[in-house]
Structure 1
Amino acid sequence: MRRLARIFVAGAAILVAVGVGMPTATAAPESCPHRFGSPQQLTDAGGAVVQQWSVSDLRASAVTAPGYPLAGRLWEATASVEALTGAVTPIIPNVYAVSASGERYQVLWQVASPSSISGATISQGDTSTGKVYFDVTGADPVAVIYTNGGSMPAMM
């Protein structure tokens, strides 16, 4: 099962990697929900809470990680979460950058930065946008996923 999950993540990461660097407004017959910038929804509490995430601009970061001793290289992406239904509290530690070989780098949720996405609860209809940072200790990431504890990502 772990091998299947790794193959799935690697395959999805490759799909996302193909879209990296391409404008999001390209003329394609079908829009890919795994392309950077494409919104994806997470539903919780029997549908009472629906949040919509989009992630873009995954790249090596030029900023520092104040108060955090990096073991590798700092990477960043821009993330937005919108509360479509109900009030949403973004669970930022569930965000990971993933390399093509399946290496996962958990978001540095503990790094305080004015540009970081806030973990504060947002009201229905509101959006929170900011940076997420990753300590990349191996291969460069090509995708960003959201997981809620299972072996398969809840969102890519």
Structure 2
Amino acid sequence: MRRLARIFVAGVAMLVAVGVGMPTATASSGSCPHRFGSPQKLTDAGGAVVQQWTVSDLRASTDTAPGYPLAGRLWEATASVEAVTGAVTPIIPNVYTVSASGERYQVLWQVASPSAIPGGTITQGQTSTGKVYFDVTGADPMAVIYTNGGSHPAMMWCCNGNMTMPMEMPMPMSMADCPGCAGMMS
């Protein structure tokens, strides 16, 4: 437990050191701040670049994965990235989906689909929207996370139905007031 606490503190310190703002959600108080569809922001070290991500509709996909040999089942979610301040290049490979048992599936950023979210730079005020795909080789996913290279998610979308996901990866945002996530930080 002490080791986990040190890892959490180190992760938060790392986020602060690189200047990544804590994700914020526009959900009303009393609701889950990381519910699917809630916008969350990331800010660079100097505040010159602020990007807002929204992820929704995680589900098994009926699309194909052109040029990618699936090892499991194709899943998808819809993602939007808005350049709130400055120009933003969406770092799509930072997106994962997670099962209730903690299995992670990285986004298939290399799938060339006309429905996929574009990875090109967008200017302030623009939004880029499309699907992100995952090759699910085990348990069904129930959350989507965005990492910044560390072991802790910078953003997370979940709260569909009754969540039972063990929080082996602490969040840099409070989950205490989330009706679906309360108690997961134990």
SS in 2 for 1:45: coil
Q: Who is 1:23 aligned against?
A: none
Ranges in structure 2 where 5+ consecutive residues have no aligned partner = 9-26, 157-186
| C-alpha distance in structure 2 between counterparts of 1:154 and 1:103, whole Å | 18
SS in 1 for 2:98: strand
TM-score (norm 2): 0.69
- Please list every run of at least 4 consecutive aligned residues from structure 1 whose deviation after the TM superposition is greater than 6 angstroms: none
In terms of Rg, which structure is larger? Answer: 2
Deviation at 1:33, TM superposition (A): 1.6
| C-alpha distance in structure 2 between counterparts of 1:29 and 1:90, whole Å | 28
Ranges in structure 1 where 5+ consecutive residues have no aligned partner = 9-25
| C-alpha distance in structure 2 between counterparts of 1:4 and 1:76, whole Å | 31
Root mean square deviation, CA, Å: 2.0
| C-alpha distance in structure 1 between counterparts of 2:119 and 2:33, whole Å | 24
More helix by share: 1
Once the two structures are superposed, residues 34-58 of structure 1 have per-residue CA deviations (whole angstroms, 9 ceiling, x without a partner) of: 1000000011132110000000000
How many equivalent pairs are there?
Answer: 135
For 1:29-48, what aligned pairs fall within 5 Å after superposition? 30-48=30-48
SS in 2 for 1:46: coil
Q: Who is 1:154 aligned against?
A: 154
Q: Who is 2:139 aligned against?
A: 139
Deviation at 1:30, TM superposition (A): 2.1
Q: Which moved more, 1:66-75 or 1:29-38?
A: 29-38
Q: Which amino acid aligns with 2:113?
A: S
Q: Who is 2:68 aligned against?
A: 68
- Structure number with the bigger relative contact order (C-alpha 8 A, sep ≥ 6) is 1
Q: Who is 2:98 aligned against?
A: 98
Q: Who is 1:118 aligned against?
A: 118
